[in-house]
């Protein structure tokens, strides 16, 4: 049984409306953070939380609510829950809406505030957020190792044996802050390299230390035990598990990827915000991690990139081939002199399977034009069977599944998401890592994906739209449509696919082919004519519109000089 609480009891309090559900994974991760903050603020008696459940049945609601120390809308009161969902425009969960004493919304992103600032963010207003940001900016200007690694309730870090080591003992040393996640594959692969460097520097007597900043959520005892076991296998120090400073330091150093190794100099100032890539590329040679050393390594890397060949990135020891259909081996040397696309993809990715037909079409068009061109599939599939099935759909070549060169290429080109296309020129150097976007935007026209070619295309497209009205109206749409660059879209006028140019309504996400706008748009044909009036007011009636694979063509059937001839 639950106690009933009158709404009047909330008067004068700040209230958090918490939209959540037991079936929601992110909610399960966030709720313990909110409980911790709530318990810290509860003694003040100024803050209350009301749980609005999105559970599917009363039993699930009760089980989940039993872990919460705050109030809730009764599960049976579905009308109230629905009204709150609509009132606060809840699009996803968890969502925490913060109300002030007057019931006014002061923050509708309470989940991110709690995650970043905890109870320190109270009363969670924009003014408080700005105040905390100003404090952080001031702390960065006067940064010391003490200001980074200590908190009001902790002035130590812990060793792998669990001993407390005063942060003051680390002052005057170069310190690496290692942001890591126990089960993360990239962390598992990088950590042994860091151990090797750490132990070598220690043997050489260097004043160097590593402090791990664990990113594990730690929502149950098993994860904490796993962390403790993991820490015991390493020679360095760490912040305590689930320490509040872990989240604070992620924000402070604007963490964007895992693993990250921030280097703090002997004076407590930041030398480098992430040295992971340099260590992976240069190993111990990256020491002592100074700005001068990084500049030196960057120059070395530039020289290596300039001398890159197809064989230098695709040949490793006796692995000097790629495969075609039925596992036929093709020597990498046979591909030298061709323009190559390295296609990083996998069957499990819906984005990859959606992009594949588009890429196949472009591949056949480029090959049909007699170009020296090839694509090589670099798989991220989960097993051989998935690789075989996916590769069977492709007309090009591939590296064998689970080939050691796959990992090398992923690291070299820093592949963090798929599908990804890297364009390699005929001389073996990297042209661009943004070839996927170029294919989507320009299709076959993008070949050979050079900056010069893209400038040519842009000039052609600019010429194409000369004389087109900037805005048009359309019979079935209430807003004006604006000429807009789009990649691929479906025309709302004729349901056919379009790309490059659209008359578009951002408010309604309404797309219209230029041909549909000019032929069927109410008033749009007159707009087009208005653009082509002579000084005498004469208007050409000889304009017709055709549609090719890549762009609309404006043709004058009487070849008058006022019209655009393409």
Cα–Cα nearest to 53, from 17, 81, 25:
81
Read off the tokens for 280: 């992976």
- H/E stretch holding 491: none
Tens digits of residue pLDDT in 521-545: 444 444 444 444 433 443 444 444 4
Whether pLDDT at 218 is above 80: no
**310-456: what fold?**
Glutaredoxin (3.40.30)
β partners of residue 546: 553
- Ranked by mean pLDDT, the top range of 261-270, 271-280, 513-522 is 261-270
Tens digits of residue pLDDT in 55-77: 999 999 999 999 999 999 999 99
**Confidence grade of residue 217 (pLDDT, cut at 50, 70, 90):** low
Tens digits of residue pLDDT in 166-193: 999 999 999 999 998 877 788 888 899 8
Every domain of the chain and the residues it spans: 7-130, 144-292, 310-456, 467-518
Phi and psi angles of residue 59, each rounded to the nearest 5 degrees, phi first: -65, -45
Tens digits of residue pLDDT in 469-490: 999 988 888 899 999 888 778 8
Class of domain 7-130: alpha beta
Prediction pTM value = 0.54
| pLDDT at 138 (0 to 100) | 83
| pLDDT at 223 (0 to 100) | 66
Read off the tokens for 451: 């900056």
Read off the tokens for 134: 């100003």
Tens digits of residue pLDDT in 141-165: 889 999 999 988 899 999 988 899 9
Q: State yes or no: cis peptide before 123, omega within 30 of 0.
A: yes
β partners of residue 157: 165
Pairing of the two strands 14-20 and 47-53: parallel
Q: What is the mean pLDDT of residues 24-46?
A: 91
Q: What percentage of the chain has pLDDT greater than the value 70?
A: 90
Cα–Cα nearest to 495, from 467, 470, 469, 476:
476
Whether pLDDT at 546 is above 50: no
The full length of the chain comes to: 566
**Confidence grade of residue 221 (pLDDT, cut at 50, 70, 90):** low
| pLDDT at 117 (0 to 100) | 82
User: 3-state class of 16 per DSSP?
Assistant: strand
- Ranked by mean pLDDT, the top range of 409-413, 430-434, 476-480 is 430-434
Please state whether 523 falls in left (phi above 0), alpha (psi between -120 and 50) or beta: left
Pairing of the two strands 510-512 and 397-398: unpaired
Read off the tokens for 82: 């629905």
**Whether the domain at 7-130 and the domain at 144-292 fall into the same CATH topology:** yes
- H/E stretch holding 270: strand 270-272
Report, at the CATH architecture level, how domain 144-292 is classified. Answer: 3-Layer(aba) Sandwich (3.40)
Cα–Cα nearest to 260, from 210, 225, 221:
210
């Amino acid at each position: 049984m639950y106690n009933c609480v009158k709404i009047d009891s909330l008067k004068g309090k700040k209230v958090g409306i918490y939209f959540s559900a037991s079936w929601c994974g992110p909610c399960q991760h966030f709720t313990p953070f909110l409980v911790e903050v709530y318990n810290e603020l509860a003694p003040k008696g100024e803050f209350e939380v009301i749980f609005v459940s999105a559970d599917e049945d009363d039993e699930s609601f009760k089980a989940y609510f039993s872990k919460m120390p705050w109030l809730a809308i009764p599960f049976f009161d579905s009308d109230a829950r629905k009204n709150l969902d609509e009132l606060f425009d809840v699009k996803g969960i968890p969502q925490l809406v913060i109300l002030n004493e007057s019931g006014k919304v002061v923050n509708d992103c309470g989940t991110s505030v709690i995650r970043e600032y905890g109870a320190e963010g109270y009363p969670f207003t924009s003014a408080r957020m700005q105040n905390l940001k100003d404090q952080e900016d001031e702390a960065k200007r006067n940064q010391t190792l003490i200001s980074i690694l200590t908190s009001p309730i902790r002035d130590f870090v812990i060793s792998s044996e669990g001993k407390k080591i005063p942060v003051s003992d680390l002052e005057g040393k170069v310190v690496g802050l290692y942001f890591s996640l126990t089960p993360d594959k990239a962390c598992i692969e990088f950590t042994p390299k860091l151990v090797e460097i750490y132990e070598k520097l220690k043997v050489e007597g260097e004043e160097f230390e590593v402090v791990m900043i664990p990113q594990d959520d730690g929502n149950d005892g098993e994860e904490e035990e796993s962390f403790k076991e993991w820490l015991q296998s390493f020679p360095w120090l760490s912040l305590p598990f689930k320490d509040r400073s872990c989240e604070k330091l992620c924000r402070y150093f604007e963490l964007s990827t895992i693993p990250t190794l921030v280097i703090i100099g002997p004076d407590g100032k930041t030398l480098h915000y992430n040295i992971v890539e340099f260590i992976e590329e240069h190993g111990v040679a990256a020491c002592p991690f100074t700005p001068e050393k990084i500049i030196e390594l960057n120059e070395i890397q530039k020289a290596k990139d300039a001398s890159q060949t197809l064989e230098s990135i695709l040949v490793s020891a006796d692995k000097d081939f790629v495969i075609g259909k039925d596992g036929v081996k093709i020597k990498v040397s046979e591909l030298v002199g061709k323009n190559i696309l390295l296609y990083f993809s996998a069957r499990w990715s819906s984005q990859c399977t959606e992009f594949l037909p588009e890429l196949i079409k472009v591949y056949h068009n480029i090959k049909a034009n007699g170009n020296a061109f090839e694509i090589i599939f670099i798989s991220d599939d989960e097993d051989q069977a998935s690789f075989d099935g996916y590769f069977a759909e492709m007309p090009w070549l591939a590296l064998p599944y689970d080939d050691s060169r796959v990992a090398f290429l992923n690291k070299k080109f820093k592949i963090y998401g798929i599908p990804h296309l890297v364009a390699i020129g005929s001389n073996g150097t990297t042209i661009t890592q943004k070839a996927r976007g170029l294919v989507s935007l320009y299709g076959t026209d993008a070949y050979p994906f050079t900056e010069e070619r893209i400038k040519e295309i842009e000039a052609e497209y600019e010429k194409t739209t000369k004389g087109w009205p900037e805005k048009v109206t359309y019979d079935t749409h209430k807003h004006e449509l604006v000429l807009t660059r789009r990649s691929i879209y479906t025309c709302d006028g004729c349901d056919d696919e379009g790309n490059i140019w659209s008359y578009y309504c951002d408010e309604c996400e309404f797309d219209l082919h230029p041909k549909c706008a000019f032929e069927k748009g109410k008033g749009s044909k007159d707009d087009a004519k208005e653009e082509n009036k002579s000084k005498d007011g004469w208007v050409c009636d000889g304009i017709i519109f055709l549609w090719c694979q890549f762009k609309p063509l404006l043709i004058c059937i009487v070849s008058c000089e006022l019209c655009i001839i393409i």
